[in-house]
Amino acid sequence: MDLHLQISSPERLTSVVADTLILIVAADAVEPKPDRHLADTIADAIRRGDFELKKGCTLYVHRPAGVKAARLLVAAAANMTPKGFKAAVAGALAQLKNLGGKHVAVAAAGVLTAEHAEALVTAADDAVYVYRHTKPSAPPPKAFAKLTLLCSKAEEKAARRGLARGQAVAQGVRLARGLADLPGNHCTPSFLAAQAGKLAKSYGLKVQVLDRRAVEKLGMGAFLAVARGSAEPLKFIVVRYDGAPKATAPVVLVGKGITFDSGGISIKPAAEMDEMKFDMGGAASVLGTLRAVAELKPKLNLVCIVPACENMPGGRAIKPGDVVKSMSGQTIEILNTDAEGRLILCDALTYAERFKPALVVDVATLTGACVVALGKHHSGLFTADDGLAAQMQAAAASALDPCWRMPLDEEYDEALKSNFADMGNVGPRVGGAITAAMFLRRFTGKYRWVHLDIAGTAWKSGTAKGATGRPVPLLTHFVLAQALS
């Protein structure tokens, strides 16, 4: 998509040269007032009952009087916050699917910030994403080839910054979404490793892929235990972006890369099991974030770690009751083979120690319990570090990619007690997202750490089934905030 910024004033919108002019107005008022022709058109539509200044309402006018653009689309936002603006833009862009025109210009009746500009780009890229990898017959997106954001001279600098960040985030989201949408027989651990290699090549990053023998040497008994039921070889992927001096402690991102989660011997019910191809959503979002960061080149060091394998039943698969030794030396009784995410992550979290990280964030479609607790809008945020929690919440707000802090108190740790190992890999059903986080916490004593449970947010089910690319926006904002100034 070709992105442009054009200086214009509310009174000059009528002379903007574009195929379609989109005007976002706040439900409370059309402020500042657009030119008389536009204001009259909107007022007339309201009078005749064709339009309401109410969130979600849109008005389409063909060949609007006194306006150069052949099409005018007015969309009402609940308010002109970046969030309200983004929702209205998304609504307007959805309507474009039924219209002609290649060049779209967007104006907001209100103050435009960097976050508005970023929201426009990510909403636009969302609108034109079509999955085609295994469905080439899918109609190509009715893309708008050119998108122009209209803003005032005073808003220009912020808008330019927002567009650049938006474009990087959108590319990261697109990568994550594209990978997560791929079926399990296409997106194998080897495929993920190859994608990481491609990414590294095009951005000049360092990549390292460990195979089973290397992982055995490191003593990653928990990761190996999960992978052993599958005929697909495991991959342990490490990619790094160096944007700061060597001595600068890196930010480390760890993404759960289960390319298919059948549950293993503790096999899952058949209904919706196909959605477990999305169980590498954490890995996809870590690679997507890496891409966004590599685009923007901030002054920081970033290491991305992806343990990737399948979780399958079979003659060689781990069984309930098996005890394995993790890389940390702690032993684990595998009471449920379907709690595999924490098993591959715990060894990756121990491996992360070697980078002497400034902080570590792990991202995982970890528990169904998190979806029960938070639904599909907020990712679960777990950390004992109030400072990091606040930073993550600030990133969520500016990226419009929400998360919600969950408890991580000592009391929950008891649930992991085992008579046969240092810990079991599951607790009771209640508080399942928290005990999963408590399990991971036992491997993170050497650095500052945040865990994100994205089981509810990484993909959508039902007729809209597909990956979301979340939490790439959240992670990108969070990582960028760690840059040296």
Q: Which residues bind ligand BES (CB under 6 A)?
A: 261, 279, 336, 338-341, 365-369, 371, 426, 432, 455
Q: Using CA atoms, how far apart are residues 99 and 147, in angstroms rounded to an integer? A: 15
Residue 149 interface partner, choices Mn ion, Zn ion, ligand BES, none, CB cut-off 5-8 Å depending on type:
none
Which residues have CB under 8 Å from 131's CB, separation 6+? 138, 178, 181, 466
Q: How many CB atoms lie within 10 A of CB 446?
A: 14
Residue 399 interface partner, choices ligand BES, Zn ion, Mn ion, none, CB cut-off 5-8 Å depending on type:
none
157 annotated active-site = no
Radius of gyration of the chain (CA): 24
For the CB of residue 460, give the shortest distance to ligand BES in the complex, in Å. Answer: 12
If the CB atoms of residues 107 and 437 are measured against ligand BES, the closer one turns out to be 437
Q: Using CA atoms, how far apart are residues 87 and 71, in angstroms rounded to an integer? A: 20
Q: Which candidate in 291, 342, 441, 470 is catalytic? A: 342
Beta carbons of 110 and 81 less than 8 angstroms apart: no
Q: Which one among 118, 279, 347, 453 touches Zn ion, defined by CB under 5 A?
A: 279
If the CB atoms of residues 64 and 380 are measured against ligand BES, the closer one turns out to be 380
Residue 432 in the binding site for Zn ion (CB under 5 A): no
For the CB of residue 311, give the shortest distance to Mn ion in the complex, in Å. Answer: 6
Residue 426 interface partner, choices Zn ion, ligand BES, Mn ion, none, CB cut-off 5-8 Å depending on type:
ligand BES
Residues in contact with Mn ion, counted by CB under 5 A, come to a total of 3
Q: Which candidate in 55, 83, 228, 268 is catalytic? A: 268
Question: Which string of x and - marks every residue 328-347 that binds Zn ion (by CB under 5 A)?
Answer: -------------x------
Spatial CA neighbour of 94 closest among 63, 60, 54, 128: 128
For the CB of residue 34, give the shortest distance to ligand BES in the complex, in Å. Answer: 45
86 annotated active-site = no
If the CB atoms of residues 330 and 336 are measured against ligand BES, the closer one turns out to be 336
Residue 368 interface partner, choices Zn ion, Mn ion, ligand BES, none, CB cut-off 5-8 Å depending on type:
ligand BES
Q: How many CB atoms lie within 10 A of CB 136?
A: 7
Q: Which one among 125, 261, 333, 453 touches Mn ion, defined by CB under 5 A?
A: 261
Q: Using CA atoms, how far apart are residues 405 and 380, in angstroms rounded to an integer? A: 6
If the CB atoms of residues 268 and 325 are measured against Mn ion, the closer one turns out to be 268
Residue 338 in the binding site for Mn ion (CB under 5 A): yes
| Catalytically annotated residues | 268, 342
Residue ranges binding Mn ion (CB under 5 A):
261, 338, 340
Residue ranges binding Zn ion (CB under 5 A):
258, 261, 279, 341
